[in-house]
C-alpha cells in the first residue's frame, strides 16, 4: 500500500529540496534560424494532438505555480521527484510554488490502483469535482499503467471561479467585459491534477523519466487517444516505448519542452483556434533556439531530450 496516506497528501505538501543543476529548457528564447518544413509539420501535429479542443472551445491549463506531492515512495525518492517537477515547471513558465504550499499536483505510486480510487471516492470526493460516477470508473479502468485527471473549474478572466446555478448546473458569468470573435469572458482553470502510476511499471525508472512523464500528464489535459496521435518522440510514450522496444526517452524531449513552454506562455482567454496558432509560433521559436544552440540539423537529433 502507500508509504503515506492519501489524506496526508491532500492536506499539505512537503517542503521541496534543492533543485537539480540541470534544467530541461531555457527560460529565454531567441529565434536565430529557420526550421525545415518537416519540423513545422511536427509542430502542427503536436499542438493538434495535445491541445485537442473544439475551435470555439478553450484549452485548460494551470495558472498557479505547481506544488507537487508524492505518495507511495520513501521520502528521499519522493523529494527528488518533487524537486524535478518544480524545476521543469518553473523552466517552462508556470512558476515555482513556495516551499510551504498547498499541494495541487499529486503523484501516487500505487500497489493497488483500485484501493487508491476507493479511498479517494470515500474520503476525498472533491478531487473528482464535476465528474459523474461513470467518468471516475472510466479513468480508474484506463488501460495501461497510468491513470490521470485534472480538476478544472470555469473561471472569469481574473481566475475567480464562476458560480454554478443550483437548479440547472450551469455556470453563471456576470462579467461586464464583452466577448469578442477570438476571446471569451471566461476560461478553464486547472486547480489540481492527480496522476496514478502502477508501482510495477514505475520500478527501474529514473527520477527524470518518472517525474517528467507525470508532470506532462498533469499539466496537459489529455487522454490515451490524444497520446496515441502523438507521432513525435515524447516522454508521454515512456511506457509504450519500454514495452515495445525496451528503450525510451531519458527525460522530456525537445518537442515536449517546447509544447509546455508554448502552452504556458499563451493565454487561454482566447478560443482554442487562436491559442493553437500562437502555440505553434511559440514552439517554432523554442525549437529554432534549441537546434541552433545544439548545433545540429533537426532531423539529425529527433530523439534527443531537451537540455
Along the 307 residues of the chain, how does pLDDT read in single tens digits? 333 344 444 443 333 333 333 333 433 433 334 688 899 999 999 999 999 999 999 999 999 999 999 999 999 999 999 999 999 999 998 887 888 899 999 999 999 999 999 999 999 899 998 899 999 999 999 999 999 999 999 888 787 776 665 555 556 555 555 667 788 888 999 999 999 999 999 999 999 999 999 999 999 999 888 998 999 999 999 999 999 999 999 999 999 999 999 999 999 999 999 999 999 999 999 999 988 887 777 765 444 444 4
Contact between 105 and 96 (Cβ < 8 Å): no
Distance separating alpha carbons of residues 8 and 42, to the nearest angstrom: 42
Distance separating alpha carbons of residues 289 and 273, to the nearest angstrom: 25
Contact between 10 and 246 (Cβ < 8 Å): no
Distances (CA, A) of 245 to 129, 238, 240: 38, 11, 8
Distance separating alpha carbons of residues 166 and 189, to the nearest angstrom: 21
Pairing of strands 186-198, 146-156: antiparallel
Distance separating alpha carbons of residues 123 and 223, to the nearest angstrom: 25
Q: Which DSSP category does 133 fall into?
A: H
Alpha helices in the chain, H assignment, sequence order: 6-11, 37-50, 75-91, 113-123, 133-140, 199-202, 207-219, 224-228, 238-245, 254-263, 272-294
Task: Report pLDDT for 292.
Answer: 85
Number of neighbours of residue 282 by Cβ within 10 angstroms: 22
Cα 99–Cα 196–Cα 109 angle in degrees, nearest 5: 75
Question: For residue 198, what is the enclosing H or E element?
Answer: strand 186-198
Task: Report pLDDT for 96.
Answer: 76
Amino acid at each position: 500500500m502507500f508509504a503515506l496516506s492519501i489524506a496526508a497528501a491532500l492536506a499539505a505538501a512537503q517542503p521541496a529540496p534543492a533543485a537539480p543543476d540541470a534544467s530541461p529548457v531555457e527560460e529565454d528564447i531567441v529565434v536565430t534560424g529557420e526550421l525545415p518544413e518537416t519540423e513545422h509539420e511536427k509542430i502542427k501535429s503536436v499542438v493538434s494532438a495535445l491541445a485537442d479542443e473544439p475551435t470555439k472551445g478553450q484549452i485548460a491549463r494551470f495558472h498557479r505555480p505547481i506544488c507537487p506531492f508524492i505518495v507511495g515512495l520513501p521520502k528521499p525518492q519522493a523529494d527528488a521527484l518533487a524537486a524535478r517537477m518544480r524545476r521543469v515547471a518553473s523552466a517552462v513558465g508556470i512558476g515555482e510554488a513556495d516551499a510551504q504550499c498547498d499541494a495541487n499536483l499529486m503523484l501516487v505510486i500505487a500497489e493497488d490502483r483500485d484501493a487508491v480510487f476507493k479511498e479517494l471516492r470515500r474520503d476525498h470526493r472533491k478531487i473528482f469535482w464535476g465528474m459523474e460516477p461513470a467518468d471516475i470508473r472510466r479513468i480508474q479502468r484506463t488501460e495501461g499503467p497510468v491513470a490521470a485527471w485534472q480538476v478544472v473549474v470555469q473561471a472569469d478572466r481574473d481566475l475567480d471561479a464562476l458560480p454554478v446555478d443550483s437548479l440547472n448546473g450551469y455556470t453563471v458569468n456576470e462579467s461586464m467585459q464583452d466577448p469578442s470573435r477570438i476571446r471569451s469572458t471566461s476560461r478553464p482553470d486547472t486547480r489540481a491534477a492527480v496522476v496514478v502510476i502502477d508501482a510495477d511499471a514505475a520500478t527501474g525508472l529514473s527520477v527524470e523519466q518518472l517525474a517528467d512523464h507525470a508532470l506532462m500528464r498533469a499539466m496537459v489535459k489529455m487522454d490515451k487517444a490524444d497520446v496515441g496521435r502523438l507521432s513525435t518522440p515524447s516522454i508521454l510514450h515512456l511506457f509504450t516505448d519500454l514495452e515495445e522496444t525496451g528503450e525510451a526517452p531519458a527525460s522530456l524531449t525537445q518537442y515536449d519542452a517546447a509544447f509546455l513552454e508554448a502552452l504556458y506562455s499563451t493565454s487561454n482567454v482566447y478560443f482554442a483556434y487562436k491559442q493553437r496558432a500562437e502555440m505553434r509560433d511559440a514552439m517554432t521559436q523554442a525549437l529554432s533556439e534549441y537546434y541552433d544552440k545544439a548545433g545540429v540539423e533537426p532531423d539529425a537529433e529527433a530523439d534527443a531530450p531537451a537540455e
